[in-house]
Each structure stands twice: as structure tokens, then as C-alpha cells.
Chain A
Amino acid sequence: MQGIADYDFVRSLGQGNHGEFFLAHRPDRLPVEAEYVTVKVVGGTGEDAFRRATRELKAFAAVRSPHLVTLYDAGQQAGIFYYSMEYLPGGSLASPAGPRERADYYRALACAARAAQALHDSGIVHRDINPSNILLTEDGGKLADLGLAQVLAPGVTITGMGALPSVEYTDPASLRGEPTTTAVDLWSLGATLHWFAAGTGIYGGLPVHDPLLTLRKVLSSPPKVSEDLPPKIADLVRSCLGDPSTRPTAGQLADQLDTLV
């Protein structure tokens, strides 16, 4: 794609869970200083889905947190839905733009947890926290990209698109279609912590070449916390994966992460 609406694309930034990210020049009409913006092209949606998604994004954009990525606009052209947000050149936990210290990961995750708490305080569940949605900044990180799967396609609990198997970071309860609560975001934060602290996912190796098998494995096998983790981190991960009613709040998790840096 060369662009959408009045955004001219510079290059692709990779696949997200239900669309592709692009680096684009900022159109003059946007009242921000930045030279570049990130545009996510979600793909074909109906008119209703466009309205619902825009409403969700408006609610997300209204939440005040220094650790949430700033959204610019949402729109559609020829039925193709897109939204734009601030461009952060530091990359994500999944693919940092340059070498990073271990402590940077903890700091970025703590920031993402604080952002999740701000969303939760506003009655919003993110639903799609994973290493590629936690962006690295100079002094911490920012949480990006609300999970819109259920808004864009009702009934879809995971879209199956995307380069990373983000199903690994999704609470199986929400895959099964159980009512969404803030606890699902704690699962995702805990699984992300496990991934970079232990270097492996909570399901061990997943058959990524076979999405259906991956889903079956995630739904049928309990998560396993690596024995290589220091006890303090292992306990923190376990608390996030445990019974939803006993999981810490995102803010509590952030405080715990700060003590690890």
C-alpha cells in the first residue's frame, strides 16, 4: 500500500494482530508537531464496525496516562478502516530498534502496567497486551493498540492474523468466550514478564506453523512457569496467571516491577 486517506506511507512497520502498521508522513490537518506518524490499516469492515471501533478508540483516547500511546485520528476510505497514532522510533519489546538493557524491559513493562491501570480505572479492558504492543521510550515505555477484535468482528475472540502468536499472551478464559474482565490484562502482563525474564513462553514451544494446533495447545494445557526464573519473579508471574479474583491489580504489578529494576 502507498497510503490511505491523506496519509502517504514511508514503509511498513509490520503486522499487528488484526492489521498492518505503516510509518507515514503527518498530514497538515493533524494538530500535532510530529513529522512522522504510525498508521494501522485494519482492513475491510462494515459501516457498523467502523462506528463501533471509532467509539472504542475515542474512549481509549480520552484516558489520561503518560504511558498510553497518543491516538490521532480514525477513519475509513472505501470501507477500509484505519487509525493513526504517535510514532515511537524505539521499537517494541518484541523487536527493539537497538540493543537494550534487561532493566529497560522491566521499566517498559511497569509503564505498560500503569497504562493498563489507567484504562481499567476508566472501565476499559485492553485485551491485547503483548510484547509487540509495548513500545520502548527513552525512560520507560508506552502501551499501544487497543485490542479491537471483538469490536470489529463480533464473536471473534482472536483473529489469527499477525506475525507473533499473540494467543500466547491471551487469557484462555477470553479465548473460550468467558466475560471479559480487567483480569485478562493481568494475564497478558504476566505472560509478557515471563517471556522476557525466562526467554520462553508460558506454554514452552508452540507449533507456530499450525495456528489451529497452537490454539488447541493453549486451550488444553495449563501454563507452566519456568524453573529458571528467580523465585520473586516466578511468584509475580504466578500471581498474574492465577485465579482471576486473586490476581494483583495492574497498578500493584507496576509497583512490584519497580522493585525488580
Chain B
Amino acid sequence: MSRLDQGSPAAAPPSSASAGPVVRPLPGGGLVAHAAGMLLACDADGELADRLLAALRLAAESGADPNAGRLLIHHVARALAGSMGESMAACAVAGPADGGAAVLVSGAAIVTVSGGEGEVTLGGRTALTWTDRFVSGPVSRIELRLPGAGQADPRSRLDAGVVPGGGLEWLADAPAHAASPGRPAASRPAAQPQQAQQALLRPEVPTDPRQGASGPSAPMPVEAPTARGVPPVPAEAAPRPAPGDIPPDDIRSQPFESVLLIQPADAPAPPPPPPATRFDPEPDSRPEVWGGDCKNGHFNDPRAHYCGVCGIAMGQLTVIPRRGPRPPLGVLLMDDGMALRLDADYVMGRDPERAEQVTAGKARPARVDDQSGSVSRRHLQVRLHDWDVELVDLGSVNGTYVMPPGESEYRQIPASQPFQIHPGTMVRLGASRSFRYESHRKH
């Protein structure tokens, strides 16, 4: 283990100055290690502990690699996969990657990272496998915590090496002295001034790659496209389950992740977002269609005799056709009280998320299920065609049935062919689920 001590200039030499990252051990009953900005806390038996420390050493040997954290995750995942027994050892690791941090957690350990996405927590608890994640930078604080760990003494440091402990706390820039132990929100380092971000996990790298182009005042990259799955991770890692794949009673056998929403008392008020974008979370993607304006300026179906909004006569000969964004064509009222706005296509079924039209972004998923299982996974597509609403049965097992207004019996529609419906039509999927097409637009 002495090799861990060599060539690991991760933290600045001890001094009373506040500059530079600091690693503090948390008291507790496991084993913690720090080498070149690579962090490990584990509560594992001798053999696995050796393998985890070897993994840390391997990653630390990659020198100034700004993505050493990915390598660390790779090696640690391999070590854990090799020893998967009756229960998962509590283990947490973190290292620099892509301007942020790559973290992994298994068993009852917890990792918390204050970074570009706010404060993110990952836990394994009783999970049967580990979970890993990339957290975008700049990172101001990382905490690895085993069960029963205490609070770090603000005077303690672990510049490099392996010691007994319950976890590690990494701070981009420790307060000048003695932040009070305990966990008052105000003393959390998430709200450090800008210069606090200058030194990150690896001060020996002159231009820290984790600094990124964005300072703390830049918009938060909440939906970083690389946020999932830190490659390269061995193939043994379990794939993320899709919703519904896990019975409700078993979800606690899976890893969890959480994002802290609590605002520090001294956090600056956020800049008000532009109102128009907040009100409707979806971008306005209504397709343009041919139509005409009534005298009051309402955009209408060119075939309409009366305005669908105000009811005024359209005077068809005088209406000038133009292209315009199509207004919602009404709503679908489901028998369970759900309402769907008809401004886009839908795929309905037990498992519509994986439908081709949905994954391609051409239709929204609408989950419809029943007790008897008579609804197919991808049962029915509701399609908007210019100003008309059409149904396409997607080859469902039990069929789709319609009851137009004024009729009293359902009849089946042919599969895979568009079938136009009018307001007031009832539609049934399989044996028991149904909805009604309702439009406030007058016809």
C-alpha cells in the first residue's frame, strides 16, 4: 500500500491557507483511500478490499489523465463483479472525468456530489448491483459515506494513503478554518465564491480540464447528454430497468439516485426565467397546416362553415387560405378520467414508450392498461391529419372498436388502416378500456 503514497501530489501541502482541494477522512469502521484525486471508501472483506485498493492504484497510475475517474470506475466495477456474493459490499468511489466527476456506489454506501447539477446523491442500499454516474462540473464537494460514518473533523486531512474510516469528504476549496462540524446548510461549500472553483481534484494539472467553459454563473447543464452510464464499464453491470419491469415490492433491491432541492439559506435568488418558456414545458411544435381566418382572426379548418372558436360564419368565398400552426383539435377523455390534448399523435397501449413512432419523437406515449390484459403493448395510434383525427389499429390482439355519435353499438375497425373519427365518437381498446373524442371546436 506504500505505493499509494508515492507520486500522489493530489492535495496542496498542509498549510493554513485555504487554497486547493482538501480530502478529509470521516470517522467510521471501514477503509478509506485517497490517491491523486481518486477517492475510495469501502467496507469489504480482505480479498475484495485488496482488489479495490489495487483498482484505485491502477487508476491513479494513469497520471494526469483528466478522465482517470472513468478508468477508476472501470477497474472498481470489475473488482466488484468478480466478488458478487450473497450481499453487495458497501463501496463508494469517485474520480475526475470530463470536467466533472465519475462516481460509483454499491451496497449501503452513499455518494453525494455538489456539481453542475446541484447536489446529487447516489445510493445502493440493499441493491444487488452497483450504480455509476457522471456528474457534470464544476464540482465543489464530494462525500463518500459508509453506514455509521461520523462527521469529518475540519482539521483532519488525508492527502494520500489508506486509513481506517467511515468515508471521505473532498472539498474543492476548504474554508480557511474550522467549518463547524455537523451539517448546517449554510456552511455547505456548494455556495463558494468563484475563486473557490479554481482548484479541483487535480491541482497539478495547470489548466484544469474540469473547469469547463462554464463558470458557476453559467446555466446549469441539467440534461447533460452524457449523464448516463459511464463508459467503459464492464458488461456485467446490470442494465437500468425500464419502469414497470420491477414489481413494486422489489424496487428497493435497485440502486437509487437523488437530487437535493433544498436551497442554501445564502444562495442568491435565481434569475427569473423567461415567462413564456416556463408556462408550457414543451416547445411549441405544432405543425403548420392550411387554414383560414374568421373575421375575428381565429385560425380555422378551411372546410368549416362557422368559426370553431367564436362560431361566426366563415363566408368561405372571402377567406384567404394561409399556412398556420394547427390549434389543438380537441381532447381524448379516457374512462379513468385522464385527458389527452390533441395537438400531437399518440400511441396507446400497455407499453407505448418503446413504440417506433414514440422513440422517433413522432408520437407521444399514452399508457392504457386493463386488468384482463386485453390491451396490447402497442395497441392503437391516434393520428392527426391536417384537421382530422384518425385511428390506426397497430395490429392489436383484441382489436379496436368505435361507436360514432348517434349509434349504439361498437364495431371493429380494420387493422393498420387509417379510420377517421368525429367529435362524440367512443373508442374501445380490447375488452374494457375506452375513451371519447371531444372537441370544443364547433362543427
Contact = CB atoms under 8 A, between A and B. Distances in A.
B121 interface: yes
Contacts of A6: 110, 123, 125, 256
Contact of B245 (A32, A79, A177): A79
A160 B256 contact: no
Nearest to B185: A31
B254 A77 contact: yes
A47 B242 CA distance: 9
B290 to A, nearest CB: 21
> Which of the four size classes fits the interface of chain B?
35 or more
A58 B256 contact: no
A31 B343 contact: no
Nearest to B270: A62
Contacts of A198: none
A144 interface: no
Contact of A216 (B256, B364, B436): B436
Contacts of A180: 279-280
Interface string A222-241: 00000000000000000000
A29 B252 contact: no
Given A5-B125, A54-B222, A77-B256, A31 B183 contact: yes
Contacts of B440: 176, 219
Nearest to B276: A123
Interface stretch (A68-76, A101-109, A133-141, A189-197): A68-76
Given A5-B123, A175-B331, A123 B258 contact: no
Nearest to B222: A55
A3 B252 contact: yes
A157 interface: yes
Interface string A168-184: 00000001111111100
B278 interface: yes
A59 interface: yes
Contacts of B193: none
Contacts of B436: 212, 216
Interface in A190-211: 211
B335 interface: yes
A177 B249 CA distance: 36
A29 B26 CA distance: 14
B188 A176 contact: no
Interface string A135-162: 0000000000000001101111111110
Contacts of A57: 261
Given A58-B222, A177-B343, A179-B280, A44 B243 contact: yes
B359 to A, nearest CB: 10
B248 A160 contact: no
B441 to A, nearest CB: 9
B301 to A, nearest CB: 16
A46 B364 CA distance: 12
A80 interface: yes
B46 interface: no
Contacts of A77: 251-252, 254-257
Interface string B253-276: 111111111110000011011110
22 contacts: A1-B248, A5-B125, A44-B243, A46-B242, A46-B353, A54-B259, A55-B223, A59-B273, A61-B261, A75-B258, A75-B259, A80-B246, A123-B272, A155-B340, A155-B364, A155-B366, A156-B340, A176-B341, A179-B280, A180-B279, A212-B335, A215-B333
Interface of A: 1-6, 29-32, 43-47, 51-52, 54-59, 61-62, 64, 70-80, 83, 121-125, 150-151, 153-161, 165, 167, 175-182, 211-212, 214-216, 219
Given A2-B249, A4-B252, 5 more contacts: A5-B123, A79-B243, A154-B364, A176-B328, A179-B280
Interface of B: 110, 112, 118, 121, 123, 125, 145, 183-185, 188, 222-223, 228, 240-246, 248-263, 269-270, 272-275, 277-282, 328, 330-331, 333-344, 346, 353, 364-367, 434-436, 438, 440
